């Protein structure tokens, strides 16, 4: 089984709808992240969490909110989706040492 | 200002040849880590290689090596003996260890390997 899972993998929704993207991990890591990827812009950080009680905004948090339900679960919500939130969304985890992040498979979100 | 710069939006290489993907970074933190990730067309992000700022030798992982030039603040990825399966997007990233530990990614380089 994958260490970091994301649901759904693909989602099409309409403008104004609320949508939640979910992330679960079995790595046992405290640190979790949400990124969005747009063509030509690389990965941009939306929110990150260093433990269940620590949640921080990234560079593009407007229009998004998150919930850290447990060490293993970190959800991203779009309260009122808009078309420019159409993107590929990644969840990632890492440990405290300066090593790599482990990424989920991504969620492709389309807002019409 | 961008902390990670990848100046090559696209690169082409012939199968079995070597290719270098450029990455420059900007930091005043003396302790940092540099990463390269591969993203094939299927979309997943795959960790390739890591270099710490205090590492004396360039990192290598199989056909991947990181040409680390600290004074020039560059961390180029070298892929030797390119294979068709190397066709993908490649991202350089940096994590400053004296600060928030939050990685910053470059915009990526698209590599196409020709047969």
Best interface-test mutation with B: which of A8, A100, A108 has the largest number of B CBs within 10 A?
Answer: A100
Which residues on chain B are in Cβ contact (under 8 Å) with A30?
Answer: none
Q: Which residues contact A33 (CB under 8 A, 6 or more apart)?
A: A45, A47, A48, A49, A58, A91, A92, A93, A94, A101, B102
Q: State the pLDDT at residue B102.
A: 83
Residues of A with CB under 8 A from a CB of B: 31, 33, 35, 40-45, 48, 58, 88, 90, 92, 96, 98-103, 105-106, 108
Is the predicted pLDDT of residue A98 greater than 70, yes or no? no
Q: Mean pLDDT, to the nearest integer, of B10-33?
A: 95
Nearest CA in chain A to B48: A100
Q: What is the DSSP string of B40-92?
A: -TT---EEEEEEETT-SS--EETTEEEEEETTTTEEEEEE-S--GGG-EEEEE
Among candidates A102, A46, A51, A43, which has minimal Cα distance to A73? A51
B110 vs B114: CA distance, rounded Å: 13
B91 vs B89: CA distance, rounded Å: 7
The sign of the CA dihedral A27, A32, A38, A41 is negative
| Cβ distance of B97 and A98 shorter than 8 Å | yes
CA distance A79 to chain B (A): 25
Nearest CA in chain B to A87: B43
pLDDT digits (tens, 9 = 90+) for B76-104: 999 999 999 999 999 999 988 876 678 88
Q: State the pLDDT at residue B2.
A: 61
Indicate the Cα dihedral angle B83, A90, B30, A54, nearest 10°.
-160
Q: Mean pLDDT, to the nearest integer, of B8-16?
A: 95
| Cβ distance of A108 and B43 shorter than 8 Å | yes
Give the one of B44, B97, B103 whose C-beta lies nearest to A101's C-beta.
Answer: B103
pLDDT digits (tens, 9 = 90+) for A32-58: 999 999 988 889 999 999 989 999 999
Nearest CA in chain B to A99: B50
Q: Say if residue B36 is exposed, middle or buried (CB neighbours under 10 Å; 0-12, 13-18, 19+).
A: buried
Is the predicted pLDDT of residue A92 greater than 90, yes or no? yes
Q: Percent of chain B at pLDDT above 90?
A: 83
- Peptide bond preceding A42 in cis form (omega within 30 of 0): no
Which DSSP letter does residue A85 get? G
């Amino acid at each position: 089984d994958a260490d970091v899972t994301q649901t759904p993998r693909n989602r099409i929704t309409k403008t104004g709808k609320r949508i939640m993207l979910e992330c679960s991990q079995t790595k046992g890591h405290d640190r979790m992240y949400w990124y969005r990827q747009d063509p030509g812009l690389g990965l941009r950080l939306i929110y990150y969490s260093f433990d269940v009680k620590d949640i921080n905004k990234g560079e593009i948090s407007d229009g998004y909110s998150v919930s850290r339900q447990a060490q293993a679960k970190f959800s991203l919500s779009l309260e009122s989706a808009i078309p420019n939130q159409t993107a590929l969304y990644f969840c990632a985890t890492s440990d405290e040492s300066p090593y790599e992040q482990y990424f989920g498979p991504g969620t492709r979100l389309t807002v019409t | 200002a961008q902390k990670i710069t990848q100046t090559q939006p696209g690169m082409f290489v012939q199968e079995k040849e070597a290719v270098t993907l450029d990455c420059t970074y900007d930091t005043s933190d003396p302790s940092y880590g540099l990463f390269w990730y591969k993203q094939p067309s299927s979309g997943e992000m795959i960790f390739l290689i890591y270099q710490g700022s205090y590492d004396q030798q360039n990192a290598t992982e199989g056909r991947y090596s990181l040409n680390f030039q600290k004074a020039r603040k560059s961390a180029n990825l070298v892929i030797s003996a390119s294979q068709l399966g190397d066709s993908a997007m490649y991202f350089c990233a940096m994590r400053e260890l004296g600060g928030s530990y939050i990685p910053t990614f470059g915009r990526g380089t698209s590599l196409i390997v020709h047969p």
